[in-house]
Structures are given as C-alpha cells and as structure tokens.
A and B are shown apart, each in its own frame.
Chain A
C-alpha cells in the first residue's frame, strides 16, 4: 500500500440547518487517480473545496499531503494544483504568458514548454486567452493547475462541455499525469470517464458515500445484461423484461442463460435483432444508487 495523499475521517459540513456532507471517510493513495461521483447537489464541490482549503468543515479530520488544508499554509499551496469548475483569467494575456505568470508563484515550477505540451496547447501558445475555444480554455485551466509541478492535482469536472474528441485527449492527458506520479482527485458527472480513468471511485449520494472502490470491484457481482429485439408480435421468452423497444435478461449465469435464449430463438426460427451481452458498467451501479425509484438520492 503506497502512502496516503488524502485521508478524511468523519467529515461533516453544515450550511445553517442543512447538512450537506454527513460524515464521510476517504483514503486516496499517492500516485492514484481518484474519482468522486455523484448527482448535482450531492455535496461533491463542498467536499473538494474543503480538501482544497477554500471552505471550513463543521466536523471531522482532514489530512491532505500531511497538512490540514484549513490552515492552507504556503507549503500546502506549493504542492497542490487546483482546477476549479469555473474560473477566470486575464483575457488579454497569451497562453504562455499566463502559464509563466503562474509558474512564478511556485518555488519549483514545471518547465513552461513541458506544461504547454502536457495539455496540448503548443499550437496555441502565443494566442490570447480571448481567442481560445471553450475546450482550449479548459485545458489552459489545467495547465495553470499544473504550472507549479504539484504532487496532487484537483480536477473539478475537467471535461464538462467537451466534444468527444477533446474528452479523449483530456483523458490521455490525465493518464500522462498519472504516469508522472501525480495524484489526481477528480470529480465528474461522466461515468465512462471515471470507469476509464480512475483507480478508485467513490459515489456520493445525499452527502454520504454510497459505494467506494476500484470500478472493477464495484461492478463485479452485478448481473450481466442480455439485450435483444424481437419481430413484432412475437411473445418474449420467460425471464425477460421490457426495456424500451427491446427486451432484457439480467443474468446471474450469463453463459447458461444466453444459451437458453439462443436455443429458444433457434427452435422458433426467430432472429434476435441487435443482440448484445454486456457486463454491468459503473453507470449501472451509479444509477442503481442514485435514482430515487431504487431508493437512492432521497
């Protein structure tokens, strides 16, 4: 077990009568990518901002890189990079000027060219911020978070508003950071993002952690989903449920149940249109935990 970058015990935060964070524990190992997931209003931003030192907590213990972020001393600030959800920069400066300005705040900054390269803005380095697209500005946000060569990087919804290509690029960038040994604390709405990037995820529901662990472990033990369509008027086989304009079988023993299904179809001469077999994804786990009809997200 590698050393702990972030350790949280019994964290609570109240705003007046409203308790937004209701006692959570978290451990993030050094050099890992950790994703905090949850619906809007679940308390993600509150938790991240407590870890970043922007907000005070109501109760609990928090240790980030061995410091209490509540004190937010210069030593802590030097080792932590923060990419907030929405932030402004001086629109009339160029990409490299801004990164250079932020590099100047740190004793041991990451080289300018390397920082620009990491976020893929090399072609835009002499463009003013005003002229960048939304996705490019977001990459600049990340570059400013990386300028100080941090050991720990907070990324609050880094790919919101990205087109699919830009998201893939951003994912590659985060993987590169991981290669460099940077610990990444990520919040996101996108389940595929967490599944693809995170070593460990925590799903936050209504101020509590409903599930925590590596994505593969969270999804293991879940049923495999067999999905197919039938010609109109064909009565479905037993054990299947209607899902939109198709049918689904939630299988505990997928090999046997798939065999039964295809045998059933072959016997009747029915074609199983758009037949898919998929393992439960993080999204299934997430929806199960957060959708009100399943008892989550009260």
Chain B
C-alpha cells in the first residue's frame, strides 16, 4: 500500500477511535457552540453599526472569532495533546516500529483533525444562521474555504511544533493553554480591543491568531468587495506554519522525553 493510502487508513482508525469516546466528541463540538450561545446571551444580537454607516448583526460580527477558535482548537490544541499523550503512552514508539512511514502517520493525524475542524466550522455557521441570523458567505465562500485550509495546515504544523517543548503529558494542557489563551484575549477572539496601544498592536500582529480572525472576517463582512481573500494575512499564517513544520521536523520525538 502506498504511503498516501496508509495515511487515509490512519484517518479511518483515528475517526473510529474519536467517536468511540462520546464524551470527548461531544465536548469538542459543544465548545464553539457554547461560545456562540454565551456571546449572544451576553451581548445580545442587536445590529451594530460598523464602518461606512452599515450595520451587521452581532452574531455575524463574532462568528469569525468563534471559527478561529474552532480551528485553533481542533488543529493546534487537539493535535498537540494527542501527540504528547501518544508519545508518553508509547503509542508513537510502537507505530515507529512498524513499516508505516512517519509522514503517513503524521498526515493521517492532521487530516483527521482537519476534517473535524471543517465539520465544526460548518456546524457552527449552520447553527449561527439557523438560530442567530448569521449571514452565510456566498461570493466570499471560496475565500473562506481557502482561509480555513491554510489555517488548518498552519495550526497543525504549530501543534506538532509545540510538542517539541512539552516534556510530558502532565504538562501538556498547561503549556498549550499558556501558549494560546493570552493570544485569544489580545487578538479579538474573546474580547475585541479596538484602538489598542501601539505596543500591544505590535505584539499581536506578530502572532497568527489576529491574522486568522481577519482573514475569516473578510468572508463575513458586508464591507468586503471582491473575493474576500486576504493574501497578506494568509501568507503570514502560512509562514508561521512553515516555521512550525521546520521545528517539528527537526526536533520531533517519537519516544517519551526523559
């Protein structure tokens, strides 16, 4: 069997295992929906005034943040956790002892996470449209799909990269959360900081989260004319992804760290 076929097989077994743990599966899907509900409960779903005197419903306004959250969660957080737990539990070492090519294993893990992430985004948008009147992108849909794929690839690579600095499974949640939660606050995911001080703006522009929010936003914003593809932001996310991939390729460990 070719490496690609083996990767597809990995996806199948990853998927089988994922749904066998209904509690974990449920909360993976409940997570972004919970944010959708909470944000709408907290801030209402009134039309808000944006640039150019236009208005947009609050739900449409916040859905890019929730989509970003979903993708980062399924790719970065989820992949980092799975890899570290698999590494500590000996699963990675066992797989390494078989003829399965390393890249087939890694691709299988990433592909499964990406499928979950995309499904999560579809469900989130659908729930938003159904219950909160979110405007579903039409002309900008291709741009949204491209954005999601670039983001999924980039955050997957970063998820692999962060495992190289996580010493053991016990430390994984703390390190992963520490690396991402502050950025959620700074990068218009949890709260929106308009007109930030120059230093804060400088810092958040260095990281990929705000670029992701912006690229997704372009697909939902009524101000967008044209395709809604924000190549600059996507290039920035891709650059981070490449850096992550290089670090992962160089320092990735298949065995528990001592």
Contacts and interface: CB of A to CB of B under 8 A. Distances in A.
B-side interface mostly: helix
Contact of A93 (B1, B16, B98, B100): B16
Contact of A92 (B9, B17, B255): B17
Contact of B90 (A77, A87, A106, A107): A87
Contact of B91 (A54, A87, A92, A128): A87
B99 A105 contact: yes
Contacts of B91: 87-90
Contacts of B255: 54
B225 interface: no
Interface string A85-97: 0111110110001
Nearest to A147: B98
B97 A97 contact: no
A105 B100 CA distance: 5
B250 interface: no
B90 A88 contact: yes
B257 interface: no
B101 interface: yes
Contacts of B98: 77, 102, 105-106, 148
Given A54-B255, A74-B99, A93 B94 contact: no
Interface string B94-108: 101111110000000
Contacts of A102: 98
B6 A105 contact: yes
Nearest to B98: A105
Interface string A76-88: 0110101010111
A78 B1 CA distance: 12
A82 B9 contact: no
A215 B126 CA distance: 71
A287 B220 CA distance: 76
Contacts of B97: 52-54, 77, 80, 82, 84
B17 A104 contact: no
A-side interface mostly: loop
Interface in B1-48: 1, 6, 9, 13, 16-17, 20-21
Contacts of B57: none
Nearest to B256: A86
B16 A84 contact: no
Contacts of A54: 93, 96-97, 255
Contact of B6 (A86, A88, A89, A104): A104
Interface in B180-204: none
A102 B16 CA distance: 15
A77 to B, nearest CB: 4
B86 interface: yes
B13 A101 contact: yes
A105 to B, nearest CB: 4
B13 A88 contact: no
Interface size, A (range): 20 to 34
A88 B99 CA distance: 18
B17 A90 contact: yes
A104 B255 CA distance: 23
A125 to B, nearest CB: 16
A180 to B, nearest CB: 20
A292 B1 CA distance: 53
B222 interface: no
Contacts of B88: 88
A228 B13 CA distance: 61
A89 B21 CA distance: 14
Interface string A24-47: 000000000000000000000000
A272 B135 CA distance: 97
B20 A92 contact: yes
Contacts of B93: 54, 84, 87
A226 interface: no
A102 B105 CA distance: 12
Contact of B99 (A84, A97, A106, A144): A106
A240 B17 CA distance: 64
Nearest to B9: A104
Given A105-B6, A148-B99, A84 B13 contact: no
Interface in B126-145: none
Nearest to B100: A105
A80 B16 CA distance: 27
Given A102-B98, A128-B20, 7 more contacts: A84-B93, A84-B97, A86-B90, A92-B21, A97-B16, A107-B1, A148-B98
Q: Which 3 interchain pairs have the tightest Cβ spacing?
A: A88-B89, A92-B20, A87-B90
30 contacts: A52-B97, A54-B93, A54-B97, A54-B255, A77-B98, A77-B99, A78-B99, A82-B97, A84-B97, A86-B90, A87-B89, A87-B93, A87-B94, A88-B90, A88-B94, A90-B91, A92-B21, A93-B20, A97-B13, A97-B16, A101-B13, A104-B6, A104-B9, A105-B6, A106-B98, A106-B99, A128-B20, A144-B94, A148-B98, A148-B99
